[in-house]
Structure 1
Amino acid sequence: MTVDRAESGDDTESVSVPVVIVGAGPVGVTAALLLARRGVRSVVLERHQDVYPLPRAVATDDEVRRILQAAGIHEEFAAVSRPARGLRLLDARHRVIAEFPRSPHGHHGFPQTSMFDQPELERLLRTALAERPECELRGGAEVTAVRQDDTDGPVHVTYRDEDGRTHRLRADAVLGCDGAGSLTREAVGAAWEDLRFEERWTVVDVRTKARVRCWEGVDQVCDPNRPATFMRIGEDRYRWEFRLPDDTEPDAERLRELVAPWVDIAYDTDFEVVRQARYTFRARVADRWRRGRIFLLGDAAHLTPPFVGQGLCSGLRDAHNLSWKLAAVLQQGADERMLETYERERKPHARHVIRLAVATGWAMTGGQDGAAALRRTAVAAAGRIPGVAGLAARNLSRRLPTGPLVSRGRLGGTHCPQPWTRAADGGLVRLDDVLGDSFAVLTAVPLPPSAHALAEGLGAEVVRVGEVDDGTLADWLRAGHADAVLLRPDRVVLDTVPAGGDRFTGTSAWAPLLCTTRRPAEQPALLPRSTAP
């Protein structure tokens, strides 16, 4: 299939690159960094020269903080983010209906919810990208065509630079991280599946030194006449979202009225509106995420309302899931069927998160129908039931479905926890910093010979739990009835040695995908940056 949005008679010869990434937002740049850590070179094409300066995404969870750790920027991100206490549901008079706390120490070793400013995150990612010789970012590059003549052949990408010149790249794979209006999605031949949610909201980002009444978490006002969301993002940064009865942008007086429950704005108050915009929140999933070696990630594959703060998170999960598999195929000659597991594993989770956001939107903001009051009453009652608040505060790292790269059993398809562990020099480091970027084995017993040989064959780091941590990993293995687990590079449990067993249980299913005789694709060197087309 060919998608071409600009005709050109230019006969420029195609330049070969391993991976082309369309879009240099957080998803595209994270994918490039994760591939680079595995030695895969990429060219990232972005039509803008610089980071989009206005805030958009503002929340992330502990699993995505772990992905940023894998990308190599978690320490820098910690300096520009702040933990959030959780979610409060308020009635129309701003009385607390229910409270759902979030832990400062989540399963993945980070706060369960962190607030941040997206432009700051993007600058951190681009700084890290510039330090990786495997990556090249080409700004001012508008992609006009993506074509793959057959599913086994290369993908051809055409782009136009700011001088109007046309350039062509020939890639082993293309990652479409180009947003809701994705050209790459057209190249895949994907259509949107509508999950039946569409509302117009006004989003207001503010910087102020004024005293703002907040609890360091998210407020959701469950008022069908004026539903609203409020959160503190940074030291002096705040966001309000309002569903208003008409499309009229609120003027200064109207805005003063809307934010009055949280802050008193005198006429001489330092209250800078950084951005005020109308957005249409939609819920959609692409019906297919791949064609041959063309893949969709992030908003190109799924759109979600913002009510559970998972829009950007879902895109970064896409990048983490796909990057190690693509690297294995391109670098180690792993079986092409590995790439089929990307959509199979990620789409159910994305759909689950979107449906949760839709349900949250209707239950919390009440909707406009006659059942709104009943829904709000049910939510309030549920919040008072012991254990429900904890259930609602669980992380969204849902178990992946059983498949070629996920074995059966209690732990199969789940993420291992990430406690602090003792390094060789006696210092404390996070578990993933010990495990590295490849496969890993965590074991509570001496590893059986067959399992040890398998670990050596995969180049997996072997860690004896209980000797390096505070018992978190041993307790986790015990609860999962396992003596050992084999972790994928994205820290999902691929296989287990059952308690009292002598081998991993599913090697016949997944080993042929990882250990093949297929020759890996040749990795051409990138042109020097100064002479790149």
Structure 2
Amino acid sequence: MDPVIVVGAGPVGLALSLTLARHGVPSVILDEGPGKDEQRPARTVVLREDTAALAERLAGTSFEGIGTRWTGWRSMRRKQVMGVLTFGEQSAKGEPGASGGPGAPGGPVSPAETLPAPLHIAQHDLTDALRRAVDAERLIKVAVDSRLDSLEEEKTGLTAHTRGKKGTWWRGSYLVGCDGPRSTVRKLLDIRFPGRTAVERHAVAALRAELPWPGEALLHRNPPWRASGRSGSEVVGRPLADGVWRLDWLLPPRSDLVTPDVLVTRIRETLAGWCGGPTPPYELLDTGVHTVHHRLARRWRVGRVFLAGDAAHLLGALGTQGLDEGLRDADNLAWKLALAWHDGARSAADALLDSYQAERRAVVAGRLRAADQALPILRGGGGLRAYVPGAARGHDGLLTDGHLGHGPLGAPGAYSDSPLAPARSESQVEVGTAIGALIADVEVTAPDGSFVRLRDRLGRGPLLVVLVAPGTGVWERKHWMSAGLMPRLAAAVAALPHEAELLVAERYPQAAAHTVLLIRPDGHLVTALTGVRPAELYEAARTALARPAEEKGPVKSGAGR
């Protein structure tokens, strides 16, 4: 089989190729640039728990030191500190409802709730880490200075032509356009990209300074100082490594151009207002203006060609992060392409490949709808709504959802209506993860007897089957693999229509003993069954893989990396 062609060498394209490599699939990355990113401290990304873990898995390194995990989230209105949401110890301080949280916007935060800290990192640092992993991967070839200008699809594959110093033809099995908002792939396919332009505009500055809240991210709505002759409407401050901060000022609609003098005035007034005195010393590193567009491609698949990341969708208002969704695109698509690539039968894989658009486009469309519904509430201003008791706290909580990855604005999407979702069976039980949602990261026992995190077993090719068995952690795996229900479960796992790995967990949120979880390679829960149910487990796996009902026997992925 020919390699998969990935157009675009940004974080999404690099992540897709690395994920394919973990599934044993070769790829070629067409990079129209020179193979390195411009160093822009003001261009940063915020990754939620799942996408940060994915990026670290693919890069083969921790981002501690080059990125920052927030120790707290501070909501402020004028000079009053309304609430502080802290991470790490997973506790909440301040007035109930001040900081939002995983529940309803503006709702109280319980000290018992787990609140994973987002990762804030300069985009060039993330890209550099992924590029180093790509350079070390034998299954990935990078072609720099190669700009796509045409593609042709045939029955057994496709051919792409690039222009540049080494313009040539490339042969591939599939092609994925990860080439950004102005995607050449999308234009060659003549796919419409409707949406809204300039939903929000922000002035951005990266600077080094000592602020009163080291490690905490700040949301300051309606600060009292005046910036450039206008009252400020919203300022967000996010810490980075080495004492660097990224500050974002929401600009009024149809505002004038942000000149360097105006931006410096904003910086000085904001720092002075936060520190309660004269402007503290600071070093300005980078500036820019960030314009948020909301767009959604009509189609994400045409034959053997797919769209992912900014080529397929643009979002980012109210603290949401487009790169989060782009990385989830890559994770969703990679295992499906890998199955199609290893099986070599396009007709049998069509339903599975079609599910990429069905799942991912629905999730991003839902995120865009949530932002469109929230924007008039949060940006409309004035009116009776502003005087309703608790309205300010509710608005802050809604914004917090977007920034921290909670609720409709920010939480990872679930594929509950996916064509890959099995029909509910009599043995299906509810656990702390909804069917189609991302699994919780618990400690499990691996086949070699070692204790690992469940999330570390994702993206290797096999399905995962997890038995919840309290008490097994005190014994070596070899002692209980032949006892109780384990032999029957091991036999059921071996008979699945695709390679699967059997793991054992002491506990899983809201799961009773002897619950069996079936998990996709991208970490989404297929089903949870009470006890060992070989026929139902097989049927759930078959549906999740979009395999015909008559197909029998396990299919090896050729991966397991």
* Band the TM-score falls in, shorter-chain normalisation: 0.7 to 0.9
Q: Is the 8 A contact 1:100 1:392 kept in 2?
A: no
Q: Is the 8 A contact 1:229 1:241 kept in 2?
A: yes
Q: Is the 8 A contact 2:465 2:493 kept in 1?
A: no
Cα shift readout 1:461-493 (whole Å, capped 9, x = no counterpart): 112322xxxx2x2x4433xx9821211111112
Match of 1:506 in 2: 540
Q: Among all aligned residue pairs of Structure 1 and Structure 2, give the percentage whose two residues are the same amino acid.
A: 25
User: Which segment drifts farther, 227-236 or 337-346?
Assistant: 227-236
CA change 1:327–1:500 in 2 (3 A) is closer
Cα shift readout 1:231-283 (whole Å, capped 9, x = no counterpart): 112222111111334223241345322443235898993x3322211222112
SS of aligned partner of 2:25? coil
Report the Cα offset of residue 81 of structure 1: 2.2
Residue among 267, 270, 284 paired with 1:255: 267
SS of aligned partner of 1:441? strand
Q: AA paired with 2:367?
A: V
Residue among 8, 11, 15 paired with 1:30: 15
1:146 matched to 2:164: no
Measure the CA separation in 2 of the matches of 1:205 and 1:321: 33
SS of aligned partner of 1:145? strand
Match of 1:493 in 2: 525
Contiguous gaps of at least 5 residues in structure 1:
1-15, 524-533
1:65 matched to 2:52: yes
CA change 1:374–1:34 in 2 (3 A) is farther
- How many equivalent residue pairs? 483
CA change 1:180–1:267 in 2 (3 A) is same
What TM-score, normalized by structure 1, do the two folds share?
0.79
SS of aligned partner of 1:319? helix
Q: AA paired with 2:16?
A: A
Measure the CA separation in 1 of the matches of 2:355 and 2:283: 47
Report the Cα offset of residue 349 of structure 1: 1.6
Report the Cα offset of residue 508 of structure 1: 5.9
Residue among 156, 161, 177 paired with 1:158: 161
Cα shift readout 1:295-329 (whole Å, capped 9, x = no counterpart): 11111111112533421111000000000000000
Contiguous gaps of at least 5 residues in structure 2:
91-101, 103-111, 223-230, 425-429, 470-484
Q: Is the 8 A contact 1:98 1:383 kept in 2?
A: no
User: Which segment drifts farther, 408-417 or 310-319?
Assistant: 408-417
Q: How does 1:71-470 map to 2 (within 5 A)?
A: 71-73=58-60, 75-91=61-77, 93-102=78-87, 111-148=116-153, 152-161=155-164, 163=165, 165-194=166-195, 198-206=199-207, 208=208, 210-214=209-213, 216-223=215-222, 225-244=232-251, 245-251=255-261, 252-262=264-274, 269=281, 271-333=282-344, 335-358=349-372, 363-364=377-378, 366-367=379-380, 370=383, 373=386, 378-381=391-394, 393=406, 396-408=411-423, 410=430, 411-421=434-444, 428-434=451-457, 437=460, 438-444=462-468, 446=485, 449=488, 452-457=491-496, 458-466=498-506
SS of aligned partner of 2:356? helix
Q: AA paired with 1:373?
A: A
Measure the CA separation in 1 of the matches of 2:510 and 2:210: 44
Measure the CA separation in 1 of the matches of 2:144 and 2:267: 37
SS of aligned partner of 1:58? strand
Report the Cα offset of residue 174 of structure 1: 0.8
Measure the CA separation in 2 of the matches of 1:358 and 1:345: 20
Q: Is the 8 A contact 1:154 1:171 kept in 2?
A: yes
Report the Cα offset of residue 196 of structure 1: 7.5
Report the Cα offset of residue 48 of structure 1: 1.3
Q: CA RMSD in A?
A: 3.7
Match of 2:25 in 1: 40
Q: AA paired with 2:520?
A: R
Measure the CA separation in 2 of the matches of 1:292 and 1:82: 41
Q: AA paired with 1:439?
A: L
Measure the CA separation in 1 of the matches of 2:314 and 2:124: 20
What TM-score, normalized by structure 2, do the two folds share?
0.76
User: Which segment drifts farther, 447-456 or 114-123?
Assistant: 447-456
CA change 1:433–1:232 in 2 (3 A) is closer
SS of aligned partner of 1:490? coil
User: Which segment drifts farther, 253-262 or 315-324?
Assistant: 253-262
Q: AA paired with 1:415?
A: L
Q: AA paired with 2:307?
A: L
CA change 1:402–1:196 in 2 (3 A) is same
Measure the CA separation in 2 of the matches of 1:172 and 1:215: 49
CA change 1:191–1:242 in 2 (3 A) is same
